Chains A and B, each alone.
Chain A
């Protein structure tokens, strides 16, 4: 295979991975941007989504329905957590939020382990996407990766449009821009918080489920994705949705290409990139809050 083909493959494969990161990071950045909560439980939503999806798959035999159900159930769980726990800590010292969300993460992960055990679980791509890899220029790409790019691309585009073009999106942006001022003029952010928590948790769950055929499913699945998502949110700009999407793709591709040329640097390069961005543009590549 030529170098060009290798690079093209690296870009496409990295993009598919990056889009999974974006799904997780979007929820993280929205929750932080709007609610000012650093949600350490977000990784547990990823894990929970994957495991619940497997259970739904056992029950229904339908991959797509299972993905939706996992997203909805975890979304409702996120909503309930926001209503019953997190909302009590708005305005309190950040350390309380940290303790709460970290505790929730441990609790949810423990529940997964108690229910499903510590062992890795089987989650395969749907039969429809298990055929031979498809040629993309000089490269060949597994069908599931092509699906990941297209599906998550549509999903992310939908979220983007919803935030840019709808009233709800406007409210979210207002809340992210200036929470206090928005509340002062009558915007009821408490309800938006609830919605965003549900959407963020649901996206994390969908990401977890979609990761399964690529990464396997273990109780640690969400932790790994959460760490990279933190990096993506920092690079993209806290609360910046566009920045999160672009930096997620960049990180996926950067990892993939570095892994090809300098495998030993593939893990550190992500953190080096974050450090460089913090030094050069502390507010993130795409500015601070905003779209």
Chain B
């Protein structure tokens, strides 16, 4: 009877409105809802299949999958920016430190085969592309080969995922027979690559991971980091103190392992090198969309400056929200790691309100040749990750060249450990106790008028040397 009634309604259309022509009559629709209320079928709510079989359970499954993918993405996000995540990479156990006397085909006349591992897809594809371009620039400087050997390269994509990176590297070693590895972006990726390099006894020159673990308990003799660790970010704080920009410091720290290392390093160095007061810290969830409570706590801290131990997109969000909340009217903000990728996402007002730290900036004295070459080739100024990939590649190839084509770590290691270099950064040297570069760390000031020239930051000054590094005795490395 009900359905007959329904049919009756449909058979008696009301006035020919556009709505009815398109969709049907109001009373018919109301009836559907009324019927549903009366004969509650609970289709979606109880997980019963509806129509094509899409139901609540299906939606929940999809949502869970999305969340899992998203959380994985967040984890990668954590790695990015300064690459100082450090997460849970299995690293090494110290046993593979040794002197790396084996491995490689020292003195061979075969082509030198280099494996380049960069995140050319995924959330850090931009960084990966820059690293790859810098890698190719460096290789291009050795047109005549190294130590009598031609150079061949194979580049693989890590997607900023440790498992992908280790699979690709293993394939390069076992199937392609590469002689050395360059690259890796994010601490977790670098840690697994250096562990693999140690086990396979192949030299590894890292491209972008600032974790302390790499040169601490997970270090090995085959791995080399040609750029600053998270501890060295403190150089920007020391300079800011010396320039009377800050006397006291409050931390807004991204809640991840690398952030902890930065906090530990900056507070330790500031306490030993300055009289600045450390006024505490507040953690911020990684990838957070909202920093209001952190901004409130910073405001209440009594400090005259905030250190933002955040990276990439998180730094952008934090600065935008802090400036919008008027925090920069009350205190200075120093973002631990910046570059053009952060600067170009900030307005003139936001940029003009903050300071930043960097282990490389393209306008720095000593970066000229590399920066000019990169700009001519790529069109944009290089970021720090490109500079790190460039330095890593240059050091690797120089070492092979100077050792008559040998890639044996027994030859490369003593040579590297004595070296000073200035490929993209001035006054850099290797520290033999942990294979980390000793180099200046810059304090930058936002440059609101520089967006046209790509000079989003102006260099104020730098602080470098071992004073801003963890002492060899405290690294736990034991090389």
Q: CB within 8 Å of B: which residues of A?
A: 1, 6, 9-10, 13-14, 17, 32-33, 36-38, 40, 90-94, 97-98, 113, 117-122, 124-125, 130, 132-133, 140, 142, 144-145, 167-168, 170-171, 173-174, 177-182, 184-189, 191-192, 213-220, 223-224, 226-227, 230-231, 233-234, 237-239, 252, 255-257, 259-260, 263-264, 266-267, 271, 278, 282-284, 287-289
User: B286 at interface (Cβ–Cβ under 8 A)?
Assistant: yes
Cβ contact within 8 Å between B292 and A13: yes
**Which residues on B sit within 8 Å (CB–CB) of A234?**
59-60, 63
Complex Cα–Cα for A133 and B331 (A): 16
28 residue pairs from A and B, CB less than 8 Å apart? A9-B292, A9-B293, A113-B125, A119-B126, A120-B312, A120-B341, A167-B26, A168-B23, A178-B36, A179-B51, A182-B24, A185-B24, A187-B32, A214-B317, A214-B321, A214-B324, A216-B313, A217-B345, A230-B63, A259-B290, A260-B297, A263-B284, A282-B56, A283-B56, A287-B45, A288-B45, A288-B46, A289-B44
Q: How far does the alpha carbon of A217 sit from the alpha carbon of B35 in the complex, in Å? A: 46
A interface SS class:
helix
Which residues of chain B have C-beta atoms less than 8 A from A130's C-beta? 324, 349
Interface centre among B45, B62, B293, B317 (most CB of A within 10 A): B293
- Our pick among A36, A185, A252 for the contact of B54 (Cβ within 8 Å) is A36
Q: What 1/0 flags go to B294-323 for Cβ under 8 Å of A? A: 101101100000000000110011001100
Pair B6/A185 contact, Cβ less than 8 Å: yes
Contacts of B25 in A (CB 8 A): 186
Find the residue from B63, B342, B345 having the highest chain A CB count within 10 A: B63
The CA of A20 and the CA of B250, in the complex, are separated in Å by 30
Complex Cα spacing A11 to B294, Å: 14
**For chains A and B in complex, what number of residue pairs have CB atoms within 8 angstroms?**
255
Distance A140 CA – B292 CA, assembled complex (angstroms) = 11
For A32, A90, A119, A216, the residue with the greatest tally of chain B CB atoms inside 10 Å of its CB is A216
B167 in the interface, Cβ–Cβ < 8 Å?
Answer: no
Does chain A have a CB within 8 A of B474?
Answer: no
> Does B285 have its Cβ within 8 Å of any Cβ on chain A?
yes
Interchain CB contact under 8 A, B284 and A259: yes
Whether B53 pairs with A94 at a CB distance below 8 angstroms is yes
Asked if B74 is at the interface of the complex by the 8 Å CB criterion, the answer is yes
Q: Is the CB of B286 within 8 A of A267?
A: yes
Hey, which chain B residues are within 8 Å of A257, CB to CB? Answer: 293
B15 within 8 A of partner (CB):
no
Which among B22, B54, B289, B349 is the interface contact of A191 at CB below 8 angstroms? Answer: B22
The residue of chain B having its C-beta at the shortest distance from the C-beta of A266 within the complex is B285
Tell me the bound Cα distance from A252 to B255 in angstroms: 19
Per the bound structure, the CA–CA distance linking A92 and B123 in Å amounts to 32
> CB-CB < 8 A to B345: which residues of A?
119-122, 216-218
Q: Is B19 on the interface with A (CB-CB < 8 A)?
A: yes
Residue of B nearest to A176 (CB): B44
What are the residues of chain A within 8 A of B67 when measuring CB–CB? Answer: 227, 230-231, 271
- Chain A residue contacts of B326, Cβ below 8 A: 132-133, 140, 142
Which residues from chain B sit less than 8 Å from chain A, CB to CB? 6-7, 9-10, 19, 22-26, 28-33, 35-36, 41-47, 50-54, 56, 58-60, 62-63, 66-67, 70-71, 73-74, 77, 123, 125-126, 129, 255, 282-290, 292-294, 296-297, 299-300, 312-313, 316-317, 320-321, 324-326, 341-342, 344-347, 349-350
9 further A-B contacts with Cβ under 8 Å, apart from A38-B63, A237-B45, A259-B285, are A17-B290, A118-B125, A119-B341, A132-B326, A167-B29, A170-B33, A185-B28, A214-B320, A227-B70
Question: Do the beta carbons of B53 and A191 come within 8 Å of each other?
Answer: no
A263: contacting residue among B71, B283, B299, B313, CB under 8 A: B283
Known A214-B320, A267-B285: A256·B292 in contact at CB below 8 Å = yes
Q: Are B293 and A6 in touch, CB under 8 angstroms? A: yes
List, in ascending order, chain B residues with CB within 8 A of A94's CB: 52-54, 58
Evaluate whether A263 and B9 lie within 8 angstroms (CB atoms) in the complex, with A97-B54, A179-B50, A278-B60 already known.
Answer: no
Tell me which residues across on chain B come within 8 A of A40, comparing CB atoms: 62, 66
B19: which A residues are within 8 A, CB to CB? 167-168
CB contact under 8 A between A181 and B32, given known A255-B290, A259-B290, A264-B255: yes
Q: Is the CB of A266 within 8 A of B288?
A: yes
A190 CB to nearest B CB, Å: 10
The answer to whether A216 and B317 touch across the interface, beta carbons within 8 angstroms, is yes
Partner of A32, one of B59, B324, B342, B349: B59
Set of chain B residues within 8 Å of A216, measured between Cβ atoms: 313, 316-317, 320, 345
**A283–B46 CB distance below 8 A:** yes
Known: A140-B326, A185-B10. A171 touches B24 (CB 8 A): yes
Q: Shortest Cβ distance from B50 into chain A, in angstroms?
A: 6
Known contacts A13-B290, A118-B126; A182/B29 CB under 8 A: yes
